[in-house]
Amino acid sequence: IGRRKAREACRHFGKAPGVPHSHTKPYVRSKGRKFERARGRRKSRGFKAYEISQILQIWFFILVWRKS
């Protein structure tokens, strides 16, 4: 008997999958190449997909940084 957090279902909890520094497991129909493996999700493809909230945080940080 493992801990409650050791359940496979718990791997899907937390920050949204696809967000930088998130190790949350996405709910995927299949693990193939065409399923949730787009450019923004692969480390070797030049950019990482961001959520809108993260883009707003970065934008706000730049505005505050320019004022000081």
Which amino acid, residue 40?
A: G
Query: Structurally, how many domains does the chain consist of?
Result: 1
Instruction: Tell me which residue range forms the domain holding 19.
Output: 1-26+41-67
Give a yes or no: residue 18 inside a domain: yes
Give a yes or no: residue 46 inside a domain: yes
Give a yes or no: residue 62 inside a domain: yes
Give a yes or no: residue 63 inside a domain: yes
Model confidence pLDDT, tens digit, residues 21-42 = 788 888 888 888 778 777 666 7
Quote the percentage of the chain above a pLDDT of 70: 76
pLDDT at 53 over 80: no
Tokens of 64: 């505050």
pTM comes to 0.48
Residue 23: how many other CB atoms lie within 10 Å: 9
